[in-house]
Amino acid sequence: MSRVLDASITLSWRFVDESRPAADAILYRVAASGAVATALWPLEVANALQMGVRRGRIKLAYFELSLRDFAKLPVEIEAATINRAWTDTVALARALDLSM
């Protein structure tokens, strides 16, 4: 089964106040069998962690450790998102009145 990973679940693995047992279970499944994420996922995660450093939620060393740990996960970055962002994604979001 494929898992699609997003930033919110990923960040719950690192921000203690956002941690949930169900999210931890997903981490173990991703570590064991992988997941797929959009090309924006690493940037969203890194940005949120950086904001955590700025706001004093986490230390810089924890930020760096988190990035190294996430880079080790078997996550396939889905490249088609970028190729379709200006065309199909916009059209679908507009047709369904969704955010992009």
Range of the structural domain that residue 87 is part of:
7-96
Give the other-Cβ count within 10 Å of 17's Cβ: 6
The verdict on residue 2 lying in a domain is: no
Look at the block and give the residue holding tokens 């719950």: 12
pTM score of the predicted model: 0.80
Q: How many domains does the chain fold into?
A: 1
pLDDT in tens, 48-70: 999 999 999 999 999 999 999 99
The verdict on residue 16 lying in a domain is: yes
- Whether 7 shows a pLDDT value over 60: the answer reads yes
pLDDT in tens, 16-41: 899 899 999 999 999 999 999 998 89
The verdict on residue 13 lying in a domain is: yes
The verdict on residue 1 lying in a domain is: no
User: What is the four-CA torsion angle of 99, 25, 68, 78, rounded to 10 degrees?
Assistant: -40
β-bridge partners, 38? 78
- Whether 90 shows a pLDDT value over 90: the answer reads no
Please report the pLDDT score of residue 55 as a whole number: 97
The verdict on residue 92 lying in a domain is: yes
Let me know how many helices (H) and strands (E) the chain has, helices first.
Answer: 6, 2
Q: How far is CA 23 from CA 5, 20, 54, 56, 84, in A?
A: 11, 5, 25, 23, 29
Q: What is the mean pLDDT of the chain?
A: 91
44 — pLDDT class (breaks 50, 70, 90): very high
